[in-house]
A and B are shown apart, each in its own frame.
Chain A
């Protein structure tokens, strides 16, 4: 039954491709999630004070925030 043979051949070809790809990816070095997470945390901490959307900047330093108009008395 030629239809069955085609589909089996395709499935094997696909599976082969997948195993090859997994082999490539299996070769990379991994670190623990706990270590990765602490490093993400450290990065946030180190850069927090320079993050305008996080710490907020005064209107005078943010071009999008409207400065209060001056009133001359």
Chain B
């Protein structure tokens, strides 16, 4: 295969450490001297009711107040989370709208699912205008759309698909700018690196791999394969130096990008259902994770312990995001509702 003995050994060691579950030195050991967290009181402060079926995805607007959510019944709703009023609603031509995202300007939303596409809808306050009339089809995959995200502007969208690829699209022209090949199965999630860290993003898939990509070259620059099952959710640590994942193997994990390995596992014997969605609090100290057993677990990222368990949803938690200013987080569930917690 064209490499000498020493190179071969180095490559094998790299391969081994990438796939290794076995921790020699985890964050928790280094964080022993860190003060433990006190009691947490977090309650449901708002319940958003209106979807007719499972809520599959949600995203916050940069105004820290509006939320877009999408559902199995094909409906996409924009809410004012302060008042719980619905501001916009559109019915997609497909069911299972698995992905939705708010544009950075707050003037549009993107969504898609079983239609294999990602479409952009400008948000208009003109009561005479039909939201669906201005719909723009941007992305085309050959299988379902599982995740989408605008980049730094309204001009580009990043998508992940059941076809095993991710792709970057120009919104105006619908042109494919870059495609990302490497996952061996459906890609289920993605997250863009915080803008200060540069042009990379992370994706997770049914191949149990989390992959970090260079957006310009389309190259995979790092990959991690320590989960035992599908990775449902990936989210960057606020500094951009690490990311967390949630998996059907009932664990969440933390991967450090500069150490190039898994550095923490968040699990308990009593937690046996998959984690569907994860997000960090503003400082990165807390990791909120929604599970298929209807609960939300709050983890101390540094110490590895669970600091709180939140009950309230009456079915799987499918989506979870912390608000842009970190004052609250929103969870969506198969129980048809969204909850705002603070």
Q: Does A39 contact B241, Cβ atoms closer than 8 Å? A: yes
Contact pattern, B 210-243, Cβ under 8 Å of A = 1, otherwise 0: 0000000001111100000000000001110110
Complex Cα spacing A72 to B261, Å? 60
A37 and B27 form a contact (CB under 8 A)? yes
Interface membership of chain A positions 32-66, coded 1 if the CB is closer than 8 angstroms to chain B and 0 otherwise: 11111111110111111011111011000011111
Min CB distance A41 to B, Å, is 6
What is the CA–CA distance of A44 and B34 in the complex, to the nearest angstrom?
Answer: 10
Task: Give A34 to B24 CA distance when docked, in angstroms.
Answer: 10
Tell me, rounded to whole Å, the shortest Cβ–Cβ distance linking A48 to chain B: 5
Question: Using Cβ atoms and an 8 Å threshold, which residues of chain A touch B14?
Answer: 22, 25-26
Is there contact, CB below 8 Å, between B239 and A31?
no
Chain B residues, Cβ within 8 Å of A31: 258-259
With both beta carbons as reference points, the residue of chain A lying nearest to B282 in the complex is identified as A51
Residues of A within 8 A of B220 (CB): 21, 24-25
Please give, as numbers and ranges, the residues of chain B lying within 8 Å of A21 by CB-CB distance: 182, 220, 223
Task: Tell yes or no: B25 within 8 A of A by CB.
Answer: yes
Q: A68 within 8 Å of B by Cβ?
A: no
A62 to chain B, nearest CB (A): 5
Main DSSP-derived SS at the B contact region: loop
Known contacts: A43-B238, A53-B342. The answer to whether A34 contacts B286 by CB under 8 A is no
Query: Which B residues from 3 to 62 make CB contacts under 8 A with A?
Result: 3, 10-11, 14-15, 24-27, 29-31, 34, 37, 41-42, 45-46
Of A15, A29, A44, A66, the most chain B CB neighbours within 10 A belong to A44
A1 interface residue per 8 A CB criterion = no
Instruction: List, in ascending order, chain A residues with CB within 8 A of B97's CB.
Output: none
User: What's the least CB distance linking A21 to chain B, in Å?
Assistant: 7
Closest Cβ neighbor of B329 among chain A residues: A53
A70 interfacial contact with B, CB 8 Å:
no
Q: How many A-B pairs fall under 8 Å by CB? A: 150
Question: In the complex, which residues of chain A have a beta carbon less than 8 angstroms from the beta carbon of B328?
Answer: 52-53, 62, 64
- Checking B27, B41, B81, B260 against A40 with a beta-carbon cut-off of 8 angstroms, the contacting residue is B27
Q: Is B147 an interface residue (CB 8 A)?
A: no
Q: How far is the CB of A57 from chain B (nearest CB, A)?
A: 7
Query: Does A54 lie within 8 Å of B286, measured CB to CB?
Result: yes
Given contacts A15-B1, A36-B258, A53-B327, 14 further A-B contacts (CB under 8 A): A21-B182, A21-B220, A25-B222, A28-B221, A29-B258, A36-B263, A37-B256, A40-B242, A40-B302, A43-B238, A44-B34, A52-B328, A53-B42, A63-B82
Residues of chain A touching chain B, judged by Cβ–Cβ distance below 8 Å, are 15-16, 19, 21-26, 28-41, 43-48, 50-54, 56-57, 62-66
27 CB-based A-B contacts, threshold 8 Å: A21-B223, A25-B222, A28-B260, A31-B258, A33-B26, A33-B27, A36-B258, A38-B30, A39-B241, A40-B27, A40-B302, A41-B31, A41-B34, A41-B302, A43-B241, A43-B283, A50-B282, A50-B326, A51-B283, A51-B286, A51-B326, A53-B42, A53-B281, A53-B329, A62-B342, A63-B327, A64-B340
Residues on B lying within 8 angstroms of A by beta carbon are 1-3, 10-11, 14-15, 24-27, 29-31, 34, 37, 41-42, 45-46, 65, 81-82, 182, 219-223, 237-239, 241-242, 256, 258-261, 263, 281-286, 301-302, 322, 325-329, 340, 342
